[in-house]
Structure 1
């Protein structure tokens, strides 16, 4: 064979540097387990029994208002029969064993401004977390949400984080695994670098290994969406400390000037913001999370509980269909609709997806004559892995 450029492979000028930059900026999608939700509890209402109480309340709601499998069809649209029975059984088991997968003790919007109380609440929260760790009741992910630097008082945010972490490590003798801190209302890109510097200093003071303290940023304003879109090197610049980006529905829609009745997760302006988040953070290893529904049942009447569950389930399904597999839960009732919707979503297509992967591996068309492309097979395999982790199946 004759070659115009010669028979020896040549290095394309600049390729090595470009490849190194690609690998630094885009190491790949998140590979670890990701919780299906984050539960926010105001710091003044948090204690060592909070998670257990949420689970008990949610289980009571399930038993009182979804007494049988058939009710899942009416409320959540789960097809009757084996699937509805499987979903309900899984939800009841989850609420009894692990009602909360990811917990945040909230010192921001859910807590308010309490200059004379915040130190005491941070210390009490640290004591509760250490006790939960010793008891084995601390969720797999946990942490706190501090106040925003955009509020003009970063010292208050740092003081709470310092006191909380110092209190936990002093009492527990170590930092329990699964910790993250939520950094809200990031209106300036510079705040991220400043916060990373704080985490590094705090890490050193606590005697933690470098890189232990990671954080998630909240995307709650158009300004944040703008700098995400224009800063392709943002994630590596933060030294691997950015673990996730969480969308804040209500601050974002308010900042966009939407009327109160349109402050909802499935509004088109929210869809746009999430798509920018997805594109800006694709392949960086940073997890994505959607926001919340700020509502609880209007009363204990079954009609009101079902109305809340339907509304919440619709929001959760919207997130799932758009590839956002995590969201916020703000009330014990949300646990029922969260798990029921997530489990139904994954179970509904699991067997069909597995069949298509097996068909591709056997070099044959799937049922219905489907001819899957390699990229689709990768997506199917990822969906099966996500389903296995979300469902807790081995």
Structure 2
């Protein structure tokens, strides 16, 4: 048997499939992913918003969790577990309280006279540019404009164009949020829109990117019975950075009554499972939604909302959704407590297993290359958000950041 000839025939048969796989599923996106997106209504946004959110978050922590023991009581957690992250959470709220900020012209802003929204678009862009120039912005930022559904389409396009015209150069990490998507055609139209806006604003080609909000049943299951969200990713021509789940619009559209609309409802889990499979290997990231139970009012109300938020954030992290929405400054302490606890809880084991894997030592686990990459990604995410620092990672794993990044990119895992 001529094995070489047989292999050549198989190669010839699969060359098209190989090329399609490489194009459609290039692997995970490189670089940092924010742990959350903060949504601020456009009329409430100023150049000082990030600073103000940090101050308000620290005030909430001081009022309801001024010591590790008090914060542990607020969350019904062992004090020893809170002590491990307490100082880090406080430092984060001072250094970088908001990782990703979205200026919202959609539901958070509402429908207003055209002249008012025109002015708000220009003012918000000017404020964002000023915040970035002063070093007071978030590492990631962007705008959510009104959807491309027929009733809001023209207003949304106008707001986006006016905002970008007033903004000037795109800040690092800038992204546009496309909400309430109901068809692949809307994503294709968004590609054309971003191309035209790039040319009109003098931006570098393909620099204007967008995320798709999955908040309609049509994006999960189309009239033809297919998962349209998968087709939307590929229709975005490489411009889609993430899929963001919209808790309340999606739940309401599925007929779920207000009292039961939540990130952990079975309908939400189904939608997010479809999103997760559709995005896997495409370089498109995932974000969970929000809880609208805000930590405001008396101490009991704040603590109850904190416990709910922490539980939901932890649940999302365990399910592979490493980002979510925050709607109020007092949600930042519970966000970072949940995130930091998640990354520190598995730090020692992940570092030990990865070190043993690379050294080909017996660790009691039969880890495969894909698992090694997952552990490297877990450790890298912990570093990115501040839950872990490079010195302790090197001490635990004998791996530096450059090596870790190569592992995440599959350069050093075999």
Normalising to structure 2: TM-score of the pair? 0.88
- For 1:257 and 1:377, the matched residues in 2 are separated by 42
Task: Give the equivalent residue in structure 1 for 2:266.
Answer: 268
Deviation string 1:8-51 (CA, Å, 9 cap, x unpaired) is 85242332211111000000012210000000011111111111
Distance 1:120 1:204, change over 3 A: same
Is 1:242 matched with 2:251?
A: no
Query: What SS does the corresponding residue of 1:150 show, helix, strand or coil?
Result: coil
Pairs aligned (count): 384
Task: Give the equivalent residue in structure 2 for 1:329.
Answer: 326
- For 2:6 and 2:245, the matched residues in 1 are separated by 51
Shift of 1:73: 2.8
Task: Give the equivalent residue in structure 2 for 1:142.
Answer: 141
- For 1:318 and 1:80, the matched residues in 2 are separated by 21
Asked if the contact 2:99–2:139 (Cα under 8 Å) also holds between the matched residues in 1, the reply is yes
Task: Give the equivalent residue in structure 2 for 1:379.
Answer: 374
Query: What SS does the corresponding residue of 1:218 show, helix, strand or coil?
Result: strand
Query: What SS does the corresponding residue of 2:241 show, helix, strand or coil?
Result: strand
Is 1:303 matched with 2:300?
A: yes
Asked if the contact 1:78–1:344 (Cα under 8 Å) also holds between the matched residues in 2, the reply is no
- For 1:311 and 1:181, the matched residues in 2 are separated by 29
Which of 361, 383, 386 aligns to 1:388? It is 383
Task: Give the equivalent residue in structure 2 for 1:186.
Answer: 181
Is 1:105 matched with 2:103?
A: yes
Residues 62-101 of structure 1 aligned to structure 2 (within 5 Å): 62-76=61-75, 78-81=77-80, 83-101=81-99
- Unpaired runs of 5+ residues, structure 1, are none
CA-based RMSD of the aligned residues comes to 1.8
- For 1:371 and 1:362, the matched residues in 2 are separated by 13
Asked if the contact 2:243–2:286 (Cα under 8 Å) also holds between the matched residues in 1, the reply is yes
Query: What SS does the corresponding residue of 2:101 show, helix, strand or coil?
Result: strand
Name which of structure 1's ranges 68-77 and 329-338 shifts more when overlaid on structure 2.
68-77
Residues 189-228 of structure 1 aligned to structure 2 (within 5 Å): 189-227=184-222
Normalising to structure 1: TM-score of the pair? 0.93
Shift of 1:77: 5.2
Query: What SS does the corresponding residue of 2:227 show, helix, strand or coil?
Result: helix
- For 1:237 and 1:273, the matched residues in 2 are separated by 19
Task: Give the equivalent residue in structure 1 for 2:411.
Answer: none
- Unpaired runs of 5+ residues, structure 2, are 391-414
Is 1:355 matched with 2:352?
A: yes
Shift of 1:298: 4.2
Asked if the contact 2:43–2:109 (Cα under 8 Å) also holds between the matched residues in 1, the reply is yes
Deviation string 1:70-90 (CA, Å, 9 cap, x unpaired) is 234333355433x42231111
